[in-house]
Structure formats: C-alpha cells, structure tokens
A and B are shown apart, each in its own frame.
Chain A
Amino acid sequence: MKTIEHFLHLFTPRHSNDHKAKIIHNSSIFTIGLVLIAFQLVLQGLPKIGIKILGYASSIPPDKIVTLINQKRQDQGLPALTSNSQLTQAAIAKGNHMLANGYWAHTAPDGTEPWYFFTSNGYQYKYAGENLARDFMDPESAVEAWMASSSHRENILSTRYKETGVAVVEGSLSGTDSTIIVQLFGAKLSDSGTQATIAKAAVEATATPTPKVEATITPAPTKPVKEPISTPTAAVIANVSPEPSPVEEAGASAQVTRESGGLRYLFSPFDTTRGVSFSVIVLLFIVMVIDMIYVNTKKIPRLGGRTLAHLAFLGTILLMIIIAKVGNIL
C-alpha cells in the first residue's frame, strides 16, 4: 500500500505533491539530470577498473568501402581509384598506431603525422590524404557520413588522387571496443612524369567544415620511388586486428578482435545511453501530459512553466535521440 502511495506521489498530481507529480518538480528534474551524468561517468570509468566494454564489432569489408567510394567518383564522372598495397599497409599501420597509442585523431599525441605512414611504407607521394571513421555499423553509413562532410567529400572526389588503401582495424580504444576505418588517398610522385620537388598532403580535420590542413614536405632525393604494385585482381585491402604484426593482405579479410585481460561486457555504450535517455524522456513526457490534462480539467491555478512548451521541447529531444546515429568521422 505504501509502495502504491509512493508511486502515485511520484507520477500523478495529488494533494501530497502539491498537485504536481513529484518527478516533474524542479528538484526532481535536476536530480534526474545529475543521475544521468553519474551514469555516464560510471560508463566512462568501467574500462579504467579493468572492465572491457564491447562497443562496435561491426562487419565492414574494406573492399566495399573502395567500391562505394569509386561509385561516388564515377557518379561525378571521375576515374576510379585503384587499390595500392603500400597505401593499404600504411592504413593498417595508422589504424594500429591509433589503437596502440589510444588516440582518435589525424595526428598522434606524440606528433606523428599521417604522412609518416605513407613514407614509412615506401609510398613517395605527390598528394596524400586521409579520411577516418569509427564505430559505423555498415560501410554505406560511413561513406555517406564522409560525403556529408565537405572536407571529407573533397578528399573522396579529388582529381589529384589516383590510388587508395583502406584498412578496418578493431580493438580497444580507451577501453571500448571500436571498429576504425582508415582510408588513405594518394598520388605517387613518379606519376607526375617529372620529379616534383614539393609534395603536398591534404588531411581532413574534424571540427569545422573547412579544416583542410596542408603540409609541405621535400621528399628525400635518395629514396627510390617505387612503382605501384597493385593489380586489379589482387586485393590489397586488409581487415586487421591490432596485433603487433597484423599484416593481412590479398583477400585475407577475417576480422580479429584482440582479447585483453579483465572482465568483458557485451553491451554498447551508445545503445545503452540512448535507451536510458529515451526511457527517461518518455516517462517525463507521459507524466507531463497527465499533469497538463489534470490541471486543465481541475482548473488548478499554478505558478509555473508552460507544460505545452516543455512537451514540445522534450518531444524535440525525443526525436533527436531517435535520429542520433552511431559512428564518428574525422
């Protein structure tokens, strides 16, 4: 009986709560907000105490990324990019470097630039670019997200690039399993016919729509410029795990996820957050609707905000939660 009373006190307007459900009192709303913040801190802290969370172990075939990118180029009347094994190895190296050093950025915390992976894998570039994506559920979503960003789109549709290399790496990034897509674009120095003295590199950045960063380097004249070794029939796309020697090539497309020590929980932080958020907002929405009907029916005078306005605001929040997509590009 006491439980029922408490329930009614929380969710329905009655004398005990001054004719306004306790859960939509100002103090309760603030408390709910603080509890949600605490929940996020707990989620954030789990990896730090050794509990691993399964984020996204989606199946992203790298060759599908190349196919989709080339479709986008062909739609614009541009020639398709060819897969290059050196770029693929560079993409693998970049992906593994991110997982090993726990960062999600074009430039590593130690200052390693994307161009390092090009040259260290023997790709002497005239032009170079990099697109990154993580935690997308399918390749189409990742490519569409890139195409929606003007700077990433510019890389995809650039006429400067002739070749590409894609790697999909899976591993723990800040304690959460992630699937990272690295796509490198390039044009070889030797393709220009003459030895250019300046190589240009373009990389996408994340925060602004026009974050193109131009880097200029002078290629070492003693380094031999290798010819492309890819052929149309030999897949040079790798799908790898972050093991120390993760080179998988020529159709080796098995995805391997590193198993590290500690407890491992199979849940998605994004889906969990979205589910909890959705439930909380729906609950408040329903209680507010009941409250609005009650107040209007009983003609209860009350000094407070407009419930209709709150419902409109919370309704918008609900729609935003529904359309929120998992996945991140850089």
Chain B
Amino acid sequence: MKKFKHWHHFIPLFGILSAGFIGFFIFSFNQVFQALIMIVMATSYVVWGLLHHYRHEDLHINVIVEYIAVSFLGLVVILSVIFRA
C-alpha cells in the first residue's frame, strides 16, 4: 500500500478550513465579516498549496494556477451566496 507522504502538511490546511468554517458560522449576522473570512480562507488555501508543493519540490506554474482556480471558484460561490442573503 502506498504510504501517504507529507500527511502532516494537511494539518495546517484543515486548521485553515476549520477556522474559516467556524468564523463563517459565528459571524452569520455580518456579511462583511463573512466575506472577509472567505477571502482570507481562499488566500490561505493558495498559500498553503504553494508551500506544500514547494516543500514537495513539485511546484509548477500549472499547480499555482490550479490552486488559484479552485480558490477563485470557491470565492465566487460564497460571495454570491453571502450577498444574495
């Protein structure tokens, strides 16, 4: 069975995502806070991806674009929902 390398890199990722989700929930009455939390979470996700792949020595422009694309989509989705509420 293939060993799951660098699993410990995922601890900060889950920390970022958990903090984002909890913050989003706690500030459910404040759209601006929620939007800021989402922006910080999406940015942190990209930074995490870059650091992870840098340490994994497979950081490539395609990888960078992929993280930006996924975080961009997440940002669009959540901001749409927040400001339609």
B10 engages A309 (CB within 8 Å): yes
**Chain A interfacial residues counted at CB < 8 A:** 49
Asked if A103 lies at the interface with its beta carbon under 8 angstroms from chain B, I say no
User: Chain A binding site: helix, strand, loop or mixed by DSSP?
Assistant: helix
Q: Give the distance to chain B from A275, nearest Cβ to Cβ, in Å.
A: 10
**A319 and B69 alpha carbons, distance in the complex (Å):** 19
Check: A149 CB closer than 8 A to any chain B CB: yes
Which residues of chain B are near A325, meaning CB under 8 Å?
28, 85
Q: Which residues of B contact A152 (CB under 8 A)?
A: 29
- Chain B: interface residue count, which band? 35 or more
Q: A207 contacts B32, CB within 8 Å? A: yes
Give min CB distance, A72 to chain B, whole Å. 15
Complex contact A303–B58 (CB within 8 A): yes
Q: Would you call B80 and A40 a contact (CB within 8 A)?
A: yes
Contacts of B66 in A (CB 8 A): 26, 304-305, 310
Number of A-B pairs, beta carbon distance below 8 Å: 124
A149 to B65, CA, bound (A): 38
Q: Interface readout for A110-148 with B: 1 if CB under 8 Å, 0 if not?
A: 000000000000000000000000010000000001101
How many Å from the CB of A157 to the closest CB on chain B? 16
Is B52 in contact with A306, judged by CB distance below 8 angstroms?
yes
Within the complex, what minimum Cβ distance (angstroms) separates B85 from chain A?
5
Given contacts A323-B24, A326-B85, A29 and B69 within 8 Å (CB-CB): yes
Using Cβ atoms and an 8 Å threshold, which residues of chain B touch A317? 74, 77-78
Contact surface of A with B, Cβ cutoff 8 Å: 26, 29-30, 32-33, 36-37, 40, 43, 135, 145-146, 148-149, 152, 206-207, 209, 269-270, 273-274, 277, 280-281, 284, 296, 303-306, 308-310, 312-314, 316-317, 319-321, 323-329
